[in-house]
Each structure stands twice: as C-alpha cells, then as structure tokens.
Structure 1
Amino acid sequence: MTEKNSELDQATLRLTVSTCASLYILVVALLPSSTFATYVPILWYIAFFISVAIPLRMAIKRWPGHFVLRRLFAMAHDYAGISFALVVGGEGALPVYAALLWVTLGNGMRFGSRYLAAATLIALSMLVMIYLLTPFWRGQPYMFVMLIVTTIVVPAYAHILLKRTRIASEEAIAANQEKSRFLAQASHDLRQPIHSIGLFTACLRDARLGREELKLVDNIDRSLHTVSQLFRSILDIYTLDNGKLEPQSEPIHLGGLLQGVVKQNTEAARWAGVELRLRPCPHWVNTNPGLLTTMVQNLVSNTLKYASGQPVLMGVRRKGNGLAIVIYDKGRGIAPEHLPEVFREFYRVRHARDKDVEGLGLGLSIVKRISHLINLDIQLDSKPGKGTRATIQGLEAVAPRTMVDSPASVQSRLQGLRVCLVEDDSNVLMATSALLEKWGCEVETHCDGEGVTSECDIIIADFDLGTKISGSECIAAIREHRGWQVPAMIMTGHEIERIRHELIHMNISILAKPVRPPELRATLLDLTKNLRSTKTR
C-alpha cells in the first residue's frame, strides 16, 4: 500500500481554491457598484499565481517526500497571493480571508503542529502588513482585531485537536500491536496442544480398542474437530483483519484440491449422516490453493451443519470464460429475507425449535472476504425446504500438468518410508512419530534442529524450533549435507501465508497447525510422488 502524498493533495487544492477565487473576483469586478479596473491587478496576479502553482504541483508529483524549503516556499506563495488580493481589493476581497484560514489549517492538518505554528506566524505577519498598507483596513480596527483573534484562536484549537488525535492514534497503534503480538503467541501456543491431541486420537483409532472405547475416541475426535473449526475461523478473521495477507497464485489440480477437502471431512460427514459426493474433475486452475481450500472447506462445513442426513454433491462446471465450483445440498434452505445477510460476521439463520448448531457465524463472512482477496465471486441460491447451491466462480483455467499416480500406487510408498521428524514440543513429537509409524514409516526423531544429519527420504519439521535454528534452516542444512533437494514439509503454528511467502523459493510443503491426520497423510503421499526422480537429479 503506497503512502498518501499529503503535499500533492495540498497542491491540488491550491489550484482548486485559486480558480474559485479568480471566479469570485471576476464576479465582484463585474458588479455595477464596483470599479472593474480595481480588480484587474488581482486577476493578473491570480494568473501568475496559477502559473507558479502548476509546475510546483508537477514537481511534488515527480519528487514526492518531505522537503522543508519546498513546503515553506508553497506557504509563502499562498500567503503572498492572499495578501495581494486583500490589499488591492479592499472590502470586496474580504471573503478571500477564508483562503488564509484554509492555508493555515491545511498546512497544520496535513503536515503537523510545527507547520501549523509556522503558518500561523506567517499569517499574522501578513495581516499586520495588510493593515499597515491598506487605508480601508486601518479604518476598520475592530474588524481587523476580529481577524487577528480568529487567526490565533482557530489554529490554536486545531493544535489541541491534532495533539489529542496524535495521542489517541499512538495509543491505538500500540494497543493494536500488543493485540497482534498476543494473538500471534496465543495462536502458536494453542495450535500445539490441539494438533497433538488430533494425532494422538488418530493413533487411538488405529489401536485394538473395543466398541465402547472406539465410540469414546469418536466423540473426542468430533469435539476436537469442532474446536479446530472454531479456532481456524477466529484466526482466519484475525489474519484478514490484519491486512498483511498477500496471496500468491500457482497452478493447481482442481480435482485434487476438492478431493483433499472431501478426505478431510470424511469423519465429519459420517457424524452428520451426510454422503459427500464429488464429481471427477480434470481441470487445472491458477489460484491460491490455501485460500481456495479455506473457502470450499467453510462451505462444506455449512452443509454438514444445516443439511445433516442429506446427500451433498460437489463438482466443477464451466461458466463464461472460466470455471466454477458448485456445492449442492438438499437441506432446509435459506429464506429470501436472510440471503442478503448471511455473509455478515456472526449472522446465523435460526429456526423455531432449532438445535444449537455449532459455530460462530463466521464461515460465510470469511468466504466472502477471501473471494475479494483472490478475485473470485461467491453466490448462494436457495429455496426453503429444497436446498442450497453455493457457487465459487471466476477461476482461471490453465493447461494441465502431469497427473499424479493412482491412490493405490502412491499409498504403498509409505511402507518403509524413512522420515526425519524435527519438533521441539515433546507431545507433538511423540504423537506425530506414533502416527507415522502406524502408517508404516520408519521415523527418526529430533527435538532440536541444530546439527541434525539424516539419511531420510522425507523431512518433517516444525517452523519454530527455538532461538538457535528454524525448521527451514534445519531442512536447508540436511539438504546441503545430502547434496540433493530432499522432499520436506513444515508444520507451523504461525501465520501460514507469511511462512509460505518467506519459503517460496525452497520448495517446501507447508501445513498450518492444527493439522488433521488425513491432511498430513495426503501431503506425505504427495511428497513421495517425485521422490525417485528428485534423487536422480
């Protein structure tokens, strides 16, 4: 975001006011009670004033910045023109005094209290000079005193307001920075236990448990899924409000992205009694995969909440010159009066005898805001009692890339896969290691990334490993030692878009904690697809 050029705005307003002043003087000069010749010098001076103001504005636009001498010259130029009009025009030029106040306040409001003080002193000096040079003003001492008092009082009050505004702004900035630091730290600290609980639950599900125990594990997993969804919604809103999100587009296989969303929601769909159906999609698009996944995930979560017990169909179709993702459900639908409001934060459609549907009412708000961020359009069409259709349109189709192997052939690659796991949180390290071993991987664990060497096939590391070394630096060191680009992924509790932007050149897959086991497994499988070809290069 570019910084606002206040001096350029002042220069533009200077030309506007001088043009208005010339029109006013011309009207006064043409009045029957006026002598036209009296105002001719003023009109000529305004023409000269504008001839200087135009190149001054051009110079400000060409060389923006804080140049004290240029600002002082502009102020002197303004006051000289106003003074000439008041001296020559006499009583008829009295309204031009408003321009003097404008110059004084304008410089103070745009450039700060020091310029306000300087402008006030110059204005008072000009008024004294006008009084001494003009018989009309010497004959109006009380009016002149009023102008002097106004020139002092108005800027003085403006200075008080400026000071209060500056203090309030500084306090607001400090509070916002403190809030950002707190949320960033709380985000990281809260992600870790949620992440580890999810992995431990996945390990328990694969253990030899009885029916009752598995039911308990299922309930734990369901509650954890709800917490994760709420947590991610709050963090998404915080990230969007922060205004630091700079989405990067890349070619992605749309069918694979949607298949990933379906896999991540398999358990949630089972709990809701929903059959998630996905039509095969061969298309590739150019977009930000993380943000598009968040949009689709939030829409799918809504269907699981409000269309439980009904089938949900997801697919892709052509629309105009692009592609659109369409999600159909056969839920109870949304009444027409609610449709314009559903994208507002915390807005939830409630029905009589409605059960307490989980959520904060942030999902669709996040979808709408992300759609603006990545230049997509989201539409909802709904009929009460028949269902809802959500459409994400505006996706740009690109040429297909090489397709991945079949799920069965890729799945077999996890057996015997050597994984180097680097994580400084002992619970996360234990849970991730146990889950990977249940999937058939051979896991080598490290709680510190410093000095790690490994003959692994894949590296999994936390981004924040303490003060000595980061996860990306650990991966880079292992790759340098091995002499080839070992496939790697980072799981982080920090802002994922910031980390992705920092590591864009390192070819590292990045997942945001808390990571669901299906998401971890899918990413791990994806990293194995080019493992052999990477080794041979």
Structure 2
Amino acid sequence: MGTDLFEIVANYTYDWESWLLPDGRVRWINPAVERMTGFSVAECLSMVDYPLEIVHPDDREAVRALLQSALGGTSGNDVEFRILRKDGQAGCAAVSWQPMVGPDGERLGVRASVRDISWRKSAEDALRLAKVDAEKADRAKSRFLAAASHDLRQPLQAVSMYVAALSRQSMDESSKEILADIRTCLDAGNELLEDLLDISRLDAGVVVPEFADVPIPDLFELLEKSFQREAQDRKLHLRFVPRSIFVRADHRILTRIVQNLVANALRYTEQGRVLVGCRVRGGNAVIEVWDSGIGIAPEYQDKIFEEFYQLHNPARDRRRGAGLGLAIVRRKAALIGAPIALKSEPGKGSVFSISLPIAHSHQAVAPVAEDVPLDLTGRTIAVIDDEPHQLNALETLLRACGGQVISANTIDDLVTRVAASDVAPELAIADYRLEAGAKGSDAIAAVRFKVNRAIPGILVTGDTDPGRIAEAEASGCRLVHKPVEGMSLVRTINQLLSGVSTAA
C-alpha cells in the first residue's frame, strides 16, 4: 500500500521522475516524461538503455558516469544536461538524485528528478545577448565621444593659443573685456571636454593614485578661493569650516572630487547657503558638502551618479553642467578607496560626504610651483602638427612669448629643418596623431636622435579614446590634453626646461 501511495503521489509531480533499482533497471517512471520528451512511459520502459537514449549524444558519456556514481550511493542536485526529444528537438534539463533506503536499511535504488530548464536557458541566453548588445553600445558611445571630443578640441586648441598670444599684446579696456568674454566661453567648452577626458582616463586605467598626507585647511583654502566669486554672483553664502588634520589621499584626485561636489551644490542651490566641513569619526575624516538646494528624492539618489544623468534640467541648461560631475566623483572616490555617501530630502537640501583615513605622519605632497616664468626668450623649440591652423596657432603663441620656433608638418621636414638650424632645439612639442598613421612620439624620438640628446618632449592630444590615452601615457613624454590653455602650456615648457617635475 505504501509503494502504491508513493507512485500515486509521484505521478502527479510536474518533474520527470524515475526510480532506478540498485542494478540499474527501471522500477518506475512518472507520466511527466512524455510532456518533457515526447516519449510515453511505456516507450521509456521498453528502452534498452534508459534514460541514455533520451539524452543528447554529446552528453551521454557524462550522464552515464553520473548514473554510475548515483548507483554507487552518491547524491547530487541541479546538474545540467541536454535531452533529445522524440521529435528530434534538443532541450535543456537539470537532474537531482538521491539514494533510497528502506526501513531496514535495505538499498532500494535511486530516485532521479529531472526538471525542464529550457526556459531558464533561454532567459540566460537572452540576458547574455543583451549584455553583449549593451557592451557594444557602450563601446560605440565611447568611440563616438572620443571622435566628437577630438574634433571639438582641435579648433578650441587653436583659439586658446591665439587668445593667449593676443593677451600679451597691449590693448584698450574694451578689447580686454571682449578678450575676457572669449576666455569665459572657452572655459565653458573646456569644462565639458575635461569631464569627458576624465571619464576616458578612468576607462583607460591610466589614473594611478599617488598617496600623500593632504592638509585639510590648505585644501579648503584653495577651494574657497576658487568658488567664492561664483557664490557671490549667485547670491549664495559659501562657508568652509576646516579642521587641522591631514588625510591620506591623492591630492589631485581629492581636490577634483570636492571641487565637483561644491560645484554641484552651487548649481542646484537657488538661495541659501553651501557649507563645506570636516568631521572626525573613528579613525576617519569625513568631508561633507551641505546645501540648502532642491534636494533629491530617494528613487533618484543612485541614478545621479550615472553618466549624463541630470535632475530638473530637461532643457540641458549648460550652466548646470553636462551630468558627468557626480559620475566622476564616484569613480575617482572608488579609485582612492574613499566611500561616498548621500543624504537628501526634496525641498530641504542635500549632504554629500566622502570618508578618508586620517594621516598622522604628515608627509604632505609638495605644492605645485605657480611662479614659473611665462617668458621663453632665448629658448628654441621644435614643433610639429599636420594641421596648418594648429601649427600656426602654436607658433604664434611661442613667438609671442619670445621663443624661437623650428616647425614643420611632417617628421621628415622637421628633422631636415632641425639639421639646418644653427641652434639645436631644447624641447620638442608634437601633436599625438600625425598624417599617414605617424605618431607624435615618433617625431620627438627623431628630433632627439638628430640632436643626439634626450631633450624633453610634450605630446598634445585631443584623443579621449582609452586605448590611445594609455598608449600616449606610455610614451615617456609629458602628455597634455587639448584644449590646453596657452599660458598653462608655456608654464609646462618652462617647468620641463628648468627641471621642475610637476604634472601638466
């Protein structure tokens, strides 16, 4: 009666059930086998090699080994294999099994339960394809941004050089105001391109933190000077409350993180104040940026850290940025191991915070020299760019600063002109991408070979493609990104010529 009751119950289970005797013969099969395989119970019982005749040929040896193991007393769960249905179609299944033992300890055989997982495999395949499509779309987006960014940087680079050269000329007040407005417009375009560059550098894996002890008071003083004018223009009260401690971090990365948080707070606060402070919690310092702005609803608090995501800006007002600032914050914070947190309530404002370990040794990073001269009198510089406007703009700037320039559009012409010059160049500047697949690093190497000296080299690039950035970083030359501000480039030239080792 017990066995009959078991079979009655098992006949109504959804999965394909089998009872194999200790010698491997089939004792019983439930009707679900026909739903899964197309074979009736009677057809299965008449098979010489059940259940292997239903198993896909490529999986039979694996299932045979599994059966031998099961008959030896093992148990298992959710082992996948393929079946071959009566209509010739393949299907996916997963088997679980366990030994059966009677009340007196007698071995009764093995109970095997097979579940149809075709739907699960289809879902996995669909998910895998969706992932592949998403990765393709992401790569396409990166290629588009890299190409668009490069093409935008080219004219902005030339304009920046001309503006820097023009600023060294005497002019009336009206002309100075116009020049100042041009700089403002350039700065707006540069901000977006710098954000795109940051994302690309992070994608390329070329951002390597250089940890040092960063003094919080100095960091806050720098940021207060940077943002006080903007806060006044917006009629907002901006206050920094420093604490006399050092934190262990990369100085440049931390500065950019807090810059982005403060800039974001100012953009989204229409009235009231922005407060930047530092608390000590345990062994960590927590930098907090408070604002009395519009606040962020809970359902959006993760989304705002995604690239190009912005709240309350359907018209894409450029005064509120491009939607990259917080994406950069999250990724740079992860790079230095600093957790980012957000507390916010719509209509009441937000608090962004970043937690960093407190430093006790005070091995502070050396400050960047800002008093590097902007004069190039007596300096000879080799320059190559295959675009005439770019080359002319750079020549104009260097000569306006008193420098002597040896320039060309191709590597061969540059080497010829260097050889013909009475004065050897002390430094070489090259656009990273030249005609016919040539690279700026090749041009600098050729000039070094001709003058028989390892003169400093500067590679100027408009690329944001992660692969190209990594390749350029590995060249051994100073890498600067278009559009570089003219006086910043001159400062970098003088730093290299005088042996000052600071990042451009």
Pick the TM interval, shorter chain: 0.5 to 0.7
Task: Assess if the C-alpha contact under 8 Å between 1:496 and 1:511 holds in 2.
Answer: no
Instruction: After TM superposition, give the deviation of residue 464 of structure 1 in Å.
Output: 0.5
Distance, in Å, in 1 between the alignment partners of 2:123 and 2:344 is 51
Give matches, 1:275-424, under 5 Å.
Answer: 287=250, 294-299=256-261, 301-302=263-264, 305=267, 332-333=292-293, 335=295, 340=301, 343-344=305-306, 345-348=308-311, 357-379=319-341, 392-394=354-356, 407-408=370-371, 410-411=372-373, 414-424=376-386
Paired with 2:475 and 2:164, the residues of 1 have a C-alpha distance of: 30
Shift of 1:375: 2.5
Check the 8 A contact 1:230/1:360 in 2, yes or no: yes
CA RMSD in angstroms, aligned pairs only: 5.9
| Paired amino acid for 1:512 | H
Where does residue 20 of structure 1 map in the other structure?
none
Structure number with the higher helix fraction is 1
Residue 104 of structure 1 is aligned with which of 59, 74, 82? 82
**Residue in 2 aligned with 1:441?**
403
Q: What's the CA shift string for 1:411-441, capped at 9, x where partnerless? A: 2774433222222222222222222333333
TM superposition score normalised by structure 1: 0.57
The answer to whether 1:473 aligns with 2:458 is no
The 5 A counterparts of 1:266-281 are 272=233
The answer to whether the 8 Å contact 2:273/2:292 transfers is no
Quick one: which amino acid aligns to residue 207 of structure 2?
Answer: P
- Which of the numbers 191, 195, 215 marks the counterpart of 2:153? 191
494-503 vs 201-210, greater mean Cα deviation: 494-503
Q: Give 1:502's match in structure 2, choosing from 471, 477, 483.
A: 471
Q: 2:243 & 2:427 partners in 1: Cα distance?
A: 30
Aligned to 1:488: 457
Secondary structure at the counterpart of residue 302 of structure 1:
helix
Whether the 8 Å CA contact 1:248–1:288 is kept in 2: the answer is no
Residues 195 and 324 in structure 2, CA contact (< 8 A), matched pair in contact too: yes
- TM-score, structure 2 normalization: 0.60
Moved more, 434-443 or 423-432: 434-443
Paired residue secondary structure (2:186): helix
More strand by share: 2
Is the Cα–Cα contact under 8 Å of residues 493 and 512 in structure 1 kept in the other structure? Answer: yes
SS of the aligned residue for 1:526 comes to: helix
Distance 2:151 2:254 in 1: 26
Residue 208 of structure 1 aligns to a residue whose secondary structure is coil
What do the CA deviations read for 1:441-478 (whole angstroms, capped 9, x no partner)? Answer: 33332222345344222222111012252111111222
* Cα offset, 1:205, TM superposition: 3.2
- Deviation of 1:164 after TM superposition, in Å, equals 8.0
Where does residue 212 of structure 1 map in the other structure?
174
Aligned residues: 417
Unaligned stretches of 5+ residues in structure 1: 1-27, 32-36, 44-70, 89-95, 108-116, 124-146, 533-537
- Amino acid corresponding to residue 321 of structure 2 in structure 1: G
The answer (yes or no) to whether the contact 2:145–2:464 under 8 Å persists in 1 is no
Give 1:245's aligned residue.
205
Which letter does structure 1 place at the counterpart of 2:460? M
Contact 1:422 1:448 in 2 (8 A): yes
In the alignment, the residues of structure 2 paired with residue 312 and residue 121 of structure 1 have an alpha-carbon distance, to the nearest angstrom, of 62
Q: Does 1:526 align with 2:495?
A: yes
3-state SS of the aligned residue for 2:436?
coil
State the percentage of identical aligned residues. 24
2:62 to 70, 77, 94: 77
Q: Which has the higher contact order (CA 8 A, sep 6+)?
A: 2
Instruction: Summarize deviations over 1:322-380 as a string: whole Å, max 9, x none.
Output: 777x5868x75564758946545523468xxxx98432333123211332244333356
- Name the amino acid aligned to 1:213: S
Alpha-carbon distance in structure 1 between the residues aligned to 2:498 and 2:301: 45
Could you tell me whether the CA contact under 8 Å between 1:312 and 1:327 is conserved in 2? no
Where does residue 187 of structure 2 map in the other structure?
225
Give 1:302 shift. 3.2
Distance 1:246 1:486, change over 3 A: closer
Residues 214 and 249, structure 2, Cα contact 8 Å, conserved in 1: no
The amino acid across from 2:174 in the alignment is E
Distance 1:246 1:73, change over 3 A: farther
